[in-house]
Amino acid sequence: MYMFTIDSTTYDETQLNMIQIEQLITKHRTLVGRIKKNQRYYEGNHDIRHRRKKLKTSANNRIVCNHAKDISDTATGYFMNSPISYATFDDEGQENIDKLTEAFDRADVDDVDSDNAHDMSVCGVAYEYVYIKQDTTEIALRNIEADHTFLVYDDTIEQNLLFGVYYYRYKDAITSKYCYRATVCTKNYVNTMILECSGQKHQMVNEPVPHYFGNVPIIEYRNNKLCIGDFEQQISLIDAYNKLMSDRVNDKEQFVEALLVIYGSLMGDDSEEVSEVMKILKENGLLELPADARAEYISRTFDENGMEVLRKAIKEDIYTFSHVPNLTDENFVGNSSGVAMEYKLLGLQMITGEKEKYYKKGLKKRIELFCNYLNLKAIAINPNNVKITFTRKLPKNLNELAQMIADLSGKVSTETLIEQLPFVEDATSEIEKVKQENEENIKLQQEMFKSQNDTPFNQDGENNDETKDDASNSKDSKQNPSKAN
């Protein structure tokens, strides 16, 4: 990862050196070839597509097996498959971040996060631009191209961020010259300028405009320390796999189009007779030859089993070295044990942890910019009190999970146990629902018992009313024997 630095002693954000910025852009243009190659491979435009035939008569299949897209999509989906959630570290409830989360929702941060995660996986780095919507006071976000954006730091040990540059190249309609239109964002201002490639006739489109975010509104998100894409170091293996599959199909075609060789006989005296015989052979599939003549096909022989072993080995290396599992592999989905699944995803979890570490750094800068702007609206939010939480959604064995919760019941808080359930989003709310249902069930049972006869039983277990009736009948029978009979 190349770090752009300048001498901070001569830097003035109100009077930018446009020649220096053009030199930085020119330097950046020499470094983006790697990013463009990664983008090309993700889109399926691999080097195999530009391979030429060795001979005019030879087959030239150019098969693209886009493992680059599969690796990037899997890594991105695992990293950002659920929206990032935000809470507060303030347990006393004095800090309210509702205004911040509302501003995030209006800015569609979930969509921007998804685009950033994709650029991180493919390009190794992602950038976003924080700005104010035109004719409004609402904050907006936009993912900007990694191959047209860079940040500039000072040359001190602290490497303080000075400004960010977003540019694109266009052709001037009047002069027919290619120029750069650059947006340079400093700590307090946004500058728009036009730079000619010749290094002369630079001009500012307008005066520096204050943005009120309190820091550079261009944020960088790294995929890892060196800004390496998820499949970037496996491109040579991907090329080898494409070449192997293409040559494999070429061999099949050449085997079908084998040459027919005839010994001891002629098919004709001239080309017309030969063509006529070939036509009859093609239509009837029969060839009449003298007794001492013979015919056979000449074809290339190849080891199909050896090529299949090589294909599997290359494919395994592609996924092994990228640390992204092949989800279609039967060995991956064959074992449903939770522990075994976690071991198979260990490499993916490690690279995702690296992504999450650097993405949190960018999110803290985003929160700082939002809070600085909201403070101007008398909405005081401390950015240091905002808690960032990433969520992973993986297939889980619910039977193992239920057994684990039952074993830990009484040893771990109920809220912590319920948080382990993947289908429960809010553990606190779920606890309240369960408590309410239990109270309703108790009331229902009490009403059911009240509707029944609740006369107490005597010591012999008989109903007191029935005992009284039996005693009364016995007394009547003694006084009136005839009545008893």
Residue finishing a domain among 277, 298, 319:
298
In this model, does residue 480 exceed pLDDT 70? no
Tell me if 294 is assigned to some domain. yes
Residue finishing a domain among 298, 324, 354:
298
What integer pLDDT is reported at residue 483 of this predicted model? Answer: 46
Tell me the two tokens of residue 121. Answer: 């996986």
Q: Which pLDDT band, with edges at 50, 70 and 90, does 451 fall under?
A: low
Interval 415-450: pLDDT, tens: 888 877 777 777 788 888 888 888 888 888 888 777
Count of CB atoms situated within 10 Å of the CB of 26: 13
Tell me if 355 is assigned to some domain. no
Tell me if 417 is assigned to some domain. yes
Instruction: Give me the mean pLDDT over the 163-185 stretch.
Output: 86
Tell me the two tokens of residue 374. Answer: 């909201």
Contact between 116 and 142 (Cβ < 8 Å): no
> Which residue, 27, 11, 359, is CA-closest to 187?
11
What integer pLDDT is reported at residue 4 of this predicted model? Answer: 94
| Domain carrying residue 409 | 396-455
Tell me if 309 is assigned to some domain. no
Counting the structural domains of the chain, the total is: 2
Task: Work out the percent of the chain whose per-residue pLDDT is above 90.
Answer: 45
In this model, does residue 73 exceed pLDDT 90? yes
The pTM (predicted TM-score) of the whole model is 0.77
| Mean of per-residue pLDDT scores for the chain | 84
User: Measured between alpha carbons, how far is 220 from 356 in angstroms, rounded to an integer?
Assistant: 13
What integer pLDDT is reported at residue 116 of this predicted model? Answer: 97
In this model, does residue 189 exceed pLDDT 90? yes
Residue finishing a domain among 249, 267, 298:
298
Residue 144 gets the label, from left (phi > 0), alpha (psi -120 to 50) or beta, of beta
In this model, does residue 456 exceed pLDDT 60? no
Tell me if 144 is assigned to some domain. no
What integer pLDDT is reported at residue 484 of this predicted model? Answer: 44
Tell me if 322 is assigned to some domain. no
Instruction: Give me the mean pLDDT over the 55-63 stretch.
Output: 77
Residue 346 gets the label, from left (phi > 0), alpha (psi -120 to 50) or beta, of alpha
Look at 40-54, 287-301, 433-447 and tell me which has the smallest mean pLDDT.
287-301
What integer pLDDT is reported at residue 40 of this predicted model? Answer: 96
Of 199-203, 243-247, 294-298, 339-343, where does the model show the most confidence? 243-247
What integer pLDDT is reported at residue 275 of this predicted model? Answer: 75
Task: Work out the percent of the chain whose per-residue pLDDT is above 70.
Answer: 84
Instruction: Give me the mean pLDDT over the 26-36 stretch.
Output: 94
Q: What residues contact 9, with CB distance under 8 A and at least 6 apart?
A: none
Tell me if 49 is assigned to some domain. no
Angle at which helices 67-79 and 33-42 pack, to 10 degrees?
Answer: 100
Tell me if 444 is assigned to some domain. yes
CA atoms within 13 A on the CB side of 78: 25
Interval 122-162: pLDDT, tens: 999 999 999 999 888 899 999 999 999 999 999 999 999 99
Tell me the two tokens of residue 82. Answer: 């659920």
> Which residue, 121, 362, 366, 354, is CA-closest to 221?
362
Strand partners, 154: 6
Cα-based distances in Å from 222 to 40, 81, 120, 351, 392: 20, 18, 6, 12, 20
